[in-house]
């Protein structure tokens, strides 16, 4: 009897350990960087990696920062598993924020009184429609004209930014806002229900975890999810099996855009409370790193989002308490991604070398 799992198990184990090894390399590189900047590495690493977990308030802020990353990375993981390269989650995030912001602005101006739980599903729907509609443009151009979804989705990010700027500098601008590009502050009816009294963490975090479970069930436990994972990487095999590669493009892009749009809706109605040109801190682009750190798996996306959120919050704390540059979080993200790619490359090279060596040994025998 041939046992295939005995040959693949070490490679699988190493691929799971790859993010851990990459994280260790990142921490070591960070310590060297702190020393080069004239800072105590132990003190700087403690502020950067430990302080974001210090206390209930810190943990709630970590969950708040992780919520949009979880939602965006889940959609991107679906796309990448289906060989659909959506790079425009940032633009879909912004369109979801615009849709949710428009809804909240209408409720505020109309003096409509709603409970937070009544507004919550309306907000999710507005964000999902905005994000999915923006991703639908990418899907239509890919399906109709075979346009490259990488370029189209990326260019649409700039269009979304310009659209947002036009709205907050123009028709949605607060007339009493001292000429700042922002809308009026949304009314209490548009606030998201909080998980902990006195904290900013809202129930959108739980919704993001539920979405992770839903994506996991869909991708790994449904026939439709199997079609997507086959139809994207192997369109010829999918056609032979009766699957539609077009369905993979439309389904993954619409789902990814919808999830990113919900993330934008949570951000504009949650911690911000109004629409500004800076509604996003680059969540859509950071989610690309999260998706690959999480091995394109929903559980990995949750863990990767918490890790990258730690970097973001730790960078802010290191700037204020240790006097380190504000770009530190971005540096750590880049080192982590490069280390992960290097580890994956070495692991795959080792697997190919072992397979080639075994083939030569078998041929010699």
Has residue 329 been placed in a domain?
Answer: yes
Distance CA 71, CA 310 (A): 17
Has residue 353 been placed in a domain?
Answer: no
Distance CA 317, CA 314 (A): 5
Distance CA 170, CA 185 (A): 16
Q: What percent of the chain has pLDDT over 90?
A: 70
Has residue 199 been placed in a domain?
Answer: yes
At residue 247, the pLDDT reads 83
Residue 10 has pLDDT above 60, yes or no: no
Residue 228, CA atoms < 13 Å, CB-side half-sphere:
25
Has residue 43 been placed in a domain?
Answer: no
Residue 281 has pLDDT above 90, yes or no: no
Least confident of 8-22, 33-47, 56-70, 247-261: 8-22
CB-CB contact of 14 with 281 (8 Å): no
Distance CA 34, CA 182 (A): 37
pLDDT band at 359 (very low <50, low <70, confident <90, very high): low
Report the residue count for the chain.
365
Distance CA 173, CA 274 (A): 11
Q: What are phi and psi of 194, to 5 degrees?
A: -90, 145
Averaged pLDDT, 93-109: 96
Q: What are phi and psi of 96, to 5 degrees?
A: -65, -40
Residue 364 has pLDDT above 70, yes or no: no
Has residue 139 been placed in a domain?
Answer: yes
How many structural domains is the chain composed of? 1
Q: For the segment 231-264, what is each residue's pLDDT rounded down to a tens digit?
A: 666 667 667 777 777 888 999 999 999 999 999 9
Distance CA 64, CA 72 (A): 14
30-36: long-range pairs with CB below 8 Å, 24+: 30/332, 30/335, 33/331, 34/324
Has residue 198 been placed in a domain?
Answer: yes
Taking the CB of residue 255, how many other CB atoms lie within 10 A of it? 23
CATH number at residue 322: 1.10.3470
* Distances in whole angstroms, Cα of residue 207 to Cα of each of 80, 177, 236, 291, 339: 22, 33, 37, 18, 31
At residue 102, the pLDDT reads 96
Domain that holds residue 294: 68-342
Mind giving me the DSSP string for 268-318?
A: IIIII-S--TTS-SSHHHHHHHHHHHTTT-HHHHHHHHHHHHHHHHHHHHH
Has residue 107 been placed in a domain?
Answer: yes
For tokens 């204020």, name the residue.
Answer: 320
pLDDT band at 9 (very low <50, low <70, confident <90, very high): very low
For tokens 């991708």, name the residue.
Answer: 219
Among 6-20, 99-113, 228-242, the range of highest mean pLDDT: 99-113
Rounded to 5°, the CA angle 330-331-333 comes to 65
Residue 12 has pLDDT above 80, yes or no: no
CB-CB contact of 90 with 283 (8 Å): yes
Has residue 279 been placed in a domain?
Answer: yes
Least confident of 1-5, 18-22, 280-284: 1-5
CA proximity to 329, closest of 346, 314, 351: 314
**Tokens for 46?**
């403690």
């Amino acid at each position: 009897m041939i046992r295939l799992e005995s040959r693949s198990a070490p490679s699988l184990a190493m691929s799971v350990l790859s993010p851990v090894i990459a994280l260790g390399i990142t921490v070591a590189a960070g310590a060297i960087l702190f020393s080069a900047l004239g800072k105590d590495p132990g003190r700087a690493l403690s502020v950067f990696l430990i302080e974001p977990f210090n206390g209930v308030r810190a943990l709630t802020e970590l969950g708040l920062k992780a919520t949009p990353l979880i939602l965006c990375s889940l959609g991107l993981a679906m796309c990448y598993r289906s060989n659909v390269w959506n790079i425009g989650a940032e633009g879909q995030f912004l369109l979801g924020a615009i849709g949710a912001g428009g809804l909240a602005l209408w409720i505020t101006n109309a003096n409509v009184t709603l409970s937070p739980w009544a507004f919550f599903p309306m907000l999710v729907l507005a964000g999902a429609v905005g994000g999915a509609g923006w991703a639908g443009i990418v899907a239509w151009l890919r399906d109709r004209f075979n346009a490259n979804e990488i370029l189209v989705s990326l260019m649409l990010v700039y269009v979304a930014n310009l659209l947002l700027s036009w709205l907050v500098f123009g028709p949605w601008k607060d007339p009493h806002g001292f000429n700042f590009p922002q809308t009026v502050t949304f009314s209490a009816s548009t606030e998201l229900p909080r998980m902990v009294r006195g904290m900013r963490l809202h129930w959108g975090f739980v919704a993001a975890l539920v979405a992770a479970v839903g994506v996991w069930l869909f991708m790994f436990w449904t026939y439709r999810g199997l079609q997507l994972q086959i139809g994207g990487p192997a369109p010829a095999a999918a056609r032979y099996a009766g699957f539609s590669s077009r369905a993979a493009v439309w389904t993954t892009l619409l789902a990814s855009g919808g999830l990113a749009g919900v993330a934008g809706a949570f951000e504009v109605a949650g911690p911000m409370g109004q629409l500004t040109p800076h509604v996003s801190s680059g969540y859509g682009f950071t989610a690309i790193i999260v998706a690959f750190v999480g091995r394109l798996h929903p559980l990995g996306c949750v863990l990767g989002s918490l890790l990258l959120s730690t970097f973001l919050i730790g960078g802010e704390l290191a700037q204020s308490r240790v006097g380190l540059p504000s770009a530190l979080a971005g540096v750590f993200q880049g080192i982590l991604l490069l280390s992960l790619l290097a580890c994956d490359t070495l692991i795959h090279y080792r697997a190919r070398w072992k397979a080639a060596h075994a083939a030569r040994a078998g041929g010699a025998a």
